Structures are given as structure tokens and as C-alpha cells.
Amino acid sequence: MKGEVRPSKELVRALLGVIDKDDVEELHDCLSQQGLKRAGYAALLRAVRIDAGGGRNLWFVRPALEPYCQALYGAHLFRYFWIEEKPPGSPKRYRLLFQNGGDGFAVYAKQSHGLNDIEATGCIVDECRSARMSFDGRGYRPVRCTCTLLGPPEVTKVRRCGSDFRDDQSSGFASPCGG
């Protein structure tokens, strides 16, 4: 990804604090299998910084392609995390805003309540479902949902959010777009 870096120890520590203990154990196993240092979790991850203004950064964190750790991937998807970094001196420096597993993630320039809109995409063989989300002050909520039939021709349909699955966890595993 353009602009990707290895996440800082502090960012990794914040991430490890919010994921399931079993997932942390699987990451530990990956470190061992890859011959990496016991606390070398940052080697398994990549992060991209988005300047949110006001001294805050937003971080998109996903698994690294090398070294590859199966614990962070599925059959065709990857896990990812959207984390806010507040200015130094803030009582809680990092805050998990959103996490998911899917085939795509987008960040938009438009902001709601000071945080960028995002879009989660999940696909199956012949279609993808996307949920564009805005921050409402407490969490991200779907505001525009689509289903794309991969064709040919490729056709994207706008659909009512929440009509057939939880859009905040966008996935291709729902009733067919045409169904």
C-alpha cells in the first residue's frame, strides 16, 4: 500500500489490547514459526497514517504480506483495524474505531464528527457488497450501501442498508444481489 510503514510499538500494543486473546496467541505462534523475536508483532503488520487534523492521526492497520501470518487472513480476505491516535498527553492515546475482515477498505476525505468516512467491502465469487460509513460521535454507521454484480458487465446497485445483513460488518455472505 502507498505510504505503508511498520506500526510503532505503541500502536501495536493498543491493537493487541483490543483483539481476542486467542488471536494474540495465534500471532505469537506466527512469530515463532517465522523465527521472529517474541514481541516482534510489528513485523506481522503494516499501517498507513491519515492526518485527521487537530493533531490527530487515523491509522489503517492490516497484516503484512511478508512475513505472512495466516491468523490475519481468511480464504480471500484480510483482517483490518481503523484506529485513532490522539495528540500526545491525551488520557487514552489510541482508540479502536472499527475492525473488520474483508476484501477492501476505503477512506474518504469527507469527515463526520471529525473522523473520515470509510467504506468496507466484502466479496464472494460473483458479487461484492460495500457499506460506506460515517462516524456519528460514538461509532461508524452505514450511510450508503451497494451491491456489485461482477458481470460482465459489472453492475452496481444501491440497496437499503441493513436490508439483508449487518452492514457495519460488510460481507459477501448474504442473499444474492439479484435475489
Q: Are residues 82 and 4 in the same domain?
A: yes
177 assigned to some structural domain = no
Q: Which domain holds residue 162?
A: 103-171
Do 21 and 88 fall into the same domain?
yes
Q: Tell me: do 148 and 137 sit in the same domain.
A: yes
Position 179 in a domain: no
> What are the tens digits of pLDDT across the range 84-93?
998 877 777 8
Give the pLDDT mean for 44-48. 95
Looking at every residue in the chain, the average pLDDT score rounds to 86
Task: Supply the DSSP string of the chain, one letter for each residue.
Answer: -TT-BPPPHHHHHHHHTTS-HHHHHHHHHHHHHHT--TT-GGGGEEEEEEEEETTEEEEEEEE-SSS--GGGB-SS-EEEEEEEEPPTT-SS-EEEEEEEEESEEEEEEEEETTEEEEEEEEEETTEEEEEEEEE-SSSEEEEEEEEEE--SSPEEEEE-TTSSS-GGG--S-SS-TT-
Rounded distance between C-alpha atoms, residue 134 and residue 112, angstroms:
6
| Residue 126 in domain | yes
State how many domains the chain has. 2
Average pLDDT of span 62-79: 84
Identify whether the C-beta of residue 37 lies closer than 8 Å to the C-beta of residue 31.
yes
Q: Is the pLDDT confidence value at 24 over 70?
A: yes
Three cell numbers written together for 5: 510503514
Percentage of residues of the chain with pLDDT beyond 70:
89
pTM of the model: 0.87
pLDDT band of 178, cuts 50, 70, 90: low
**Residue 160, pLDDT score:** 84
Domain boundary among the residues 86, 102, 118 is at 102
Same domain for 96 and 8, yes or no, is yes
pLDDT tens string 118-160: 999 988 888 888 999 999 999 999 999 998 998 889 999 998 8
